[in-house]
């Protein structure tokens, strides 16, 4: 992967819709708006950028062992049909948050996410996305009652939206993003060391210095 030899801390972000420019011998790709559930990243690489076709497959793992319903065989009240839902043991990577029998679902599109959000509001549930649980803070389960976790494994994929924009699904892993960029002669100034983290997760919590709003973070992006 073609990445700068020095950190990008001193490199200002390019304004939206600005043509690509050369920065210290590297190609700087400006940000541009994308749709809900995606992010566009500033990437660097060789000048010969090739447009990708379609979405790159992400590392989608099979659902973990889980109980599809409670002991009475019932799910959450009036839960939308078509979206898998089950009870699952939730444990963050450090073990500081450890909760049994958490309602969990796996939406397969942004439309399903919208339906789930409407359902959660009507039924007084908190809908919270789940990535790889790689944080110390109890963000997903700070309040343990009436929480529905949305596993983002199916909301993954990477594509070149334009020569200046990379569109990334929230459930895409850092490894999958890096591999896609490398295949197109591109890269990021820096990346978190842990490759199986989701892009949506590291941006949501500012993991490993990513910094959503900052122009100098390893994953400088614009989210809509």
| List of residues 6+ apart from 72 with CB closer than 8 A | none
- Are both 164 and 145 inside the same structural domain? no
Q: Which domain holds residue 99?
A: 85-151
Question: Do 110 and 97 share a structural domain?
Answer: yes
pLDDT given for residue 18 in this prediction? 38
| Claim to verify: residue 146 and residue 175 sit in the same structural domain | no
Please state the φ and ψ torsions of residue 161, each to the nearest 5 degrees.
Answer: -70, -30
Q: Please answer whether residues 2 and 46 qualify as being in contact, where contact means their C-beta atoms are separated by less than 8 angstroms.
A: yes
Cα–Cα distance, 165 to 142 (Å, whole number): 35
Residues constituting the chain: 224
Give the span between the Cα atoms of 190 and 171, in whole angstroms. Answer: 19
Tell me how many domains the chain contains: 2
Judge if 161 and 224 occupy the same domain. yes
Q: Is residue 95 part of a domain?
A: yes
The answer on 209 and 161 residing in a single domain is yes
Q: Is residue 132 part of a domain?
A: yes
Q: Is residue 140 part of a domain?
A: yes
Last residue of a domain, one of 99, 134, 151: 151
pTM for the whole structure: 0.59
Residue after which a domain boundary falls, among 151, 183, 199: 151
141-146-149-150 Cα dihedral, nearest 10 degrees: -150
**Would residue 33 count as lying in a domain?**
no
End position of a domain, from candidates 134, 151, 168:
151
What band does 87 get if pLDDT is binned at 50, 70 and 90? Answer: confident
Residues 131 and 164 in one domain: no
Mean pLDDT, residues 30-41 = 36
Give the Cα separation of 116 and 7 in Å (integer): 40
Average per-residue pLDDT for the chain: 65
150-186 residue pLDDT tens: 889 899 999 988 776 788 998 999 899 989 988 888 8
Between residues 19 and 161, which one has the greater pLDDT? 161
Q: Does 146 share its domain with 181?
A: no
Q: Do 146 and 160 fall into the same domain?
A: no
Q: Are residues 196 and 133 in the same domain?
A: no
CATH number for position 130: 3.30.43.10
Question: Within a domain: residue 171?
Answer: yes
């Amino acid at each position: 992967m073609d990445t700068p030899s020095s950190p990008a801390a001193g490199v200002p972000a390019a304004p939206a819709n600005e043509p690509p420019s050369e920065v210290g011998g590297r190609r700087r790709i400006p940000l541009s708006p994308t749709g809900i559930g995606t992010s566009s990243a500033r990437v660097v690489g060789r000048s010969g950028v090739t447009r990708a076709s379609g979405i790159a497959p992400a590392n989608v793992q099979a659902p973990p062992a889980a109980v599809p319903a409670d002991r009475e065989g019932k799910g959450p009240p009036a839960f939308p049909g078509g979206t898998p839902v089950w009870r699952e043991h939730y444990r963050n990577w450090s073990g500081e948050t450890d909760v049994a029998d958490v309602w969990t679902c796996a939406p397969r599109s942004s439309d399903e996410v919208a339906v789930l959000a409407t359902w959660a509001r009507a039924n007084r549930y908190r809908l919270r996305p789940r990535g790889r649980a790689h944080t110390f803070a109890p963000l997903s389960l700070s309040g343990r009652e009436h929480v529905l976790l949305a596993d983002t494994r199916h909301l993954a994929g990477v594509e070149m939206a334009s020569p200046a924009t990379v569109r990334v699904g929230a459930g895409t892993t850092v490894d999958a993003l890096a591999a896609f960029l490398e295949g197109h002669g591109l890269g990021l100034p820096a990346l978190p060391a842990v490759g199986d983290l989701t892009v949506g997760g590291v941006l949501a919590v500012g993991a490993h210095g990513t910094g959503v709003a900052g122009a100098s973070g390893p994953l400088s992006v614009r989210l809509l």
